[in-house]
Every structure is written in structure tokens, then in C-alpha cells.
Amino acid sequence: MNMADKKLQVRGKVLTPETVECEIEVPNPFCLVIFGASGDLTKRKIVPAVYRLYRNGFLPEGFFVLGTARSPMSDEDFRDQMLDAVKQAFPDDFSQNVWDKFAEKLCYCNIDYSDAGTYGAIKDRLEPLEKKFRTGENRIFYLAVPPGIYESVILNIGESRLSEEQSGYSHVVIEKPFGRDTDSARSLNSALGRSFSERQIYRMDHYLAKETVQSILIFRFANSIFEPLWNRRYIDHVQITVAETLGVEHRAGYYEHAGVLRDMFQNHIFQLLALTAMEPPSVFEADRVRDEKVKVFRSIRPFPIDSAGEHAVLGQYGSGAIDGAEVLGYRGEPGVSPASNTPTFAALKVFIDNWRWNGVPFYLRSGKRLPKREAAISIHYKPVPHMMFKGIIEDHIEPSTLVLRLQPDEGITLEFQTKAPGGKLCLNKVLMDFSYQTVFTFEAYERVLLDCMQGDQMLFVREDGVDATWSLLTPLIEKLESEAGRLRFPNYASGSEGPAEAVKLIEADGRKWRPI
């Protein structure tokens, strides 16, 4: 493939592949079997991602997508639904010519997820399609179904022998939430182990596919200017923030049983924590990187359950305004109990008991209906050891801060002090800023799909990592849920930065949150 002949549409900007310095490898032929093909995730994320990869020349001609779901549907019906989905995803960048070729690769069969006998219909459709598209029995099974039926689908894939590898590979992609506590996660891992080997399993956390998240290790370990300063001697504390302006939206059925700790912390935020805190692996390979992440999880100090309130704060949004528009409180959202004690905000203070991070607090927070959408890791350095400008400069001198922005404007910012122009000695905080808006990037679902096609598990979570994070969080969640009836919800207004208790959590240590 001659990449120089192609143009890529990225966030409304046309960029040539010359801006991509690394060669992008096109995967071998494959088939993608989507369980839950009539659902929202397939329409919003999966099929648009496959379409964009195909349109931009990153997929082989030999591939097809087989959608499966309970809904009776013909191939043409499925193609019509996916056409609407792709047009909605790319309203200003849709090619009818590309679609006509892509649509030929979309097929459908309906099954009953809980009936092992109906999985024969998948085998019956796969065999002629694999011959037609010459995919070499390379199969990816994508579980875009509700978490409650994960185990049923996984076990039936195994029972029907679809997971067996002969001339090609069989991979399974499973989205979070991966369980809701330690026991349920272990049960799900056990089901996976009966049908697939760990080498075949791709536990997906789409946050790990964001360009800046992938760059954390490169930034840390390929630049000698930063790695020597990445420890307790120079860093005062670390903040990880994932803020959303959206409320629960259409996810009340799931969210009422999950809450923010299960939804965001066990996966997204703890993964960001691990990448920020881990030691350099001996080689840049998937299992070596995942080894180091698990070491971080095992080094996190267990939460003191008897004094959980000193390390954890929960919140639930009330009514308020987002971007000038009035919005409902959580308890007023469709499908939510008027007396719900489900948390929509959490802030945690975490310590990592190892040589590098001893005594350095990590402040983690995530919530819905906050002032703006943002995901960022901010490294707050210690102040200078001796302030020689005392008595000359009245302003407080803020220590340097390094910010890794994950969304919506992916990039890296370093904030530091300089002298303002003029005769008077006064400070001027300046920014060195790099933005991924100016370079080509894959969207998160495109990246994870490509990696699964190529057998690269670097961005996927391993079984021991899942077990370690649930083992840390489950006792805390159980303690907080047992006391939820005593919480006064709602305790923060939509459009605010969260409950006052979260501010006290960090201010009690003489620090303050970086503004959202």
C-alpha cells in the first residue's frame, strides 16, 4: 500500500500521511463478529470505526463484518441501519463510493445469546463468507452486549468450538465493566478461561487507546530530561481528573447498579494511575508493560476502611446549569430512583508504597455534570527549596506543573515561571504546549480494533490486573455503600466542580485541585 497516495480526515482537517512518521501496518485478512450488532455501541462506535479504517486504507480488502443479535434482520436491513450510523458519525465526510464497497462486507444473522444451539447459525454463515473473502479463519468476536450476558455468550462461543484456532486466530474483545466486584470479576475470568486462552483475550479499556495515554510511556522513558525528575524527590503530588458535562443520559439502568467508582475508577482511572507511576519495563513488550502496571496496583496502600472518609469522598449531582442550559439533578433523570444514593462523583487520595513514590499522594477524581469535559493527568512539582525573591516579588510563586491532556484537546503542557517584560521584577507564568490536534491520530476504537487484528495486547488489560484493582476497590465500595444512606445527596450542583467535601480532602493537606 502506498500511504502517500491517501488523505486522512482528522477532526475536520485533511492531513497527508507524510505527517505520520511511523509506518502503519495493514493487518491480515479477518472477520469481525459483533454480538449486540443492533445495539447503540455498534452503531455509535464499532462500525463507524471499521468504516473509517477501511476508507483510509488501513484494512485489507479481505475482511467482513458479521453482526449478530436477537433482532430478526436481513443483511440489507443491517446495512441500512449501519448506513444511518456511519452518516451520523461522519456527516461532513461520507463517501457513497466507499460505502457501496464497504456495505458488501456487512452481513447479519440473528441468534439467541443464551441458546448454545443457535450458535450453529454463526458457523453456518462464517464458513462460506470466510471462503469468499479469504480471511483464513482469522476471527474476532466483539462483545457489544450488556454485561449481564457476557458469561453466557463467552461459554456458548466455547461450547460451539468457535474459539478454537486451526488455520487462523480467534480473539475475543470484551468491554468494561469487567465485573462489579472481586467475586464477579473472577467468575467472568473463569468463564473466559474455559473458552479462550489469555493470549486470545482482549479486555478493552478505550481510554488506553487515546493518543496521549499511549504517549505517557514514550514521554517518560524516552526523554532523559523528565525521567530523573519523576519521583518523590521532585514531585509534590499528582492529580488525575476525568470530568464529564453529561449526566447519566440513557444509561440509568446500568449506572444505578454501578456508580462512579465501578464505572470509572476500577478501569480508566486506575489504568492512568499505573501508566503514570510504573517503573520502566526491561523491554517494550505487552506482557512486560502489563507486569509493571500490576506491580503498581500491588503497591497501592489499602484504603483504611475504618476511616474511609479521610481518603474518599462521594457526591451526586443536583439540578443546575451546563453551558447556560438548566439540567435535572440525578434523581430526576429518567429511570433513576427519586431516593437513589448512587454516587456520580468520587475523589480518592491514594498512596503507592514503593521506593519511587513513598509519601507522594495521588488525588483522583471523576464526576458527571461538571463544568467542562476534561481528562488530564497533572504532575505538580515541589516548590523551589529556597525563595531568593522573597521581599522583592509580592506574588506567590506557583511550582511548575506538567499536564498531560487526554481529552478533548489531547496534548502536553508544561507550566513554568519567567520574568515579565519591563523594568520591574514580576513573574509571568508561561506554557509550553503540544497539541495532537495538529497531527494525525487514530480514534480510540480504531486503535484497539487494529491492535486486536494484529495480535498486540499492549493496550488491553490482563487478568491479574483486573483482579488487583477489584481487590483494592471492593472493600472500599462495600464500606461506602453500607454508609450511603447517611449521605446527604445531592451534594453538588450541576455545573460546579463537585462537592465541598472533595475540596476539603485536598485542602486538608495544604494543596488545591487544579481547576476543571
Q: Which residues are catalytic?
A: 268
As a whole number of Å, the CA-based R_g of the chain is 24
Cβ pair 14, 51 in contact under 8 A:
no
User: Each residue of 392-420: b (16+ CB within 10 Å) or e?
Assistant: ebeeeeeebbbbbbbbeebbbbebebeee
Residue with the three cell numbers 477532526 = 11
Q: Could you tell me which of 255, 316, 313, 260 has the C-alpha nearest to residue 492?
A: 316
Cα angle value 482/486/492 (rounded, 5°): 110
Amino acid letter, residue 316: Q
Backbone angles phi, psi at 12, to 5 degrees: 85, 0
315 three-state secondary structure: strand
Give φ, ψ of 131 to 5 degrees: -70, -40
Put residue 490 in one of left, alpha, beta given phi > 0 → left and psi -120 to 50 → alpha.
beta
Report how far residue 107's alpha carbon sits from residue 105's, in angstroms, rounded to the nearest whole number.
7
Give the Cα separation of 84 and 89 in Å (integer): 9
Burial 182-220 (b: 16+ CB within 10 A, else e): bebbbebbebbeebbeeebbbbbbbbbbbbbbbbbbebb
Length of the chain: 516
Sign of CA dihedral 46, 258, 263, 454: negative
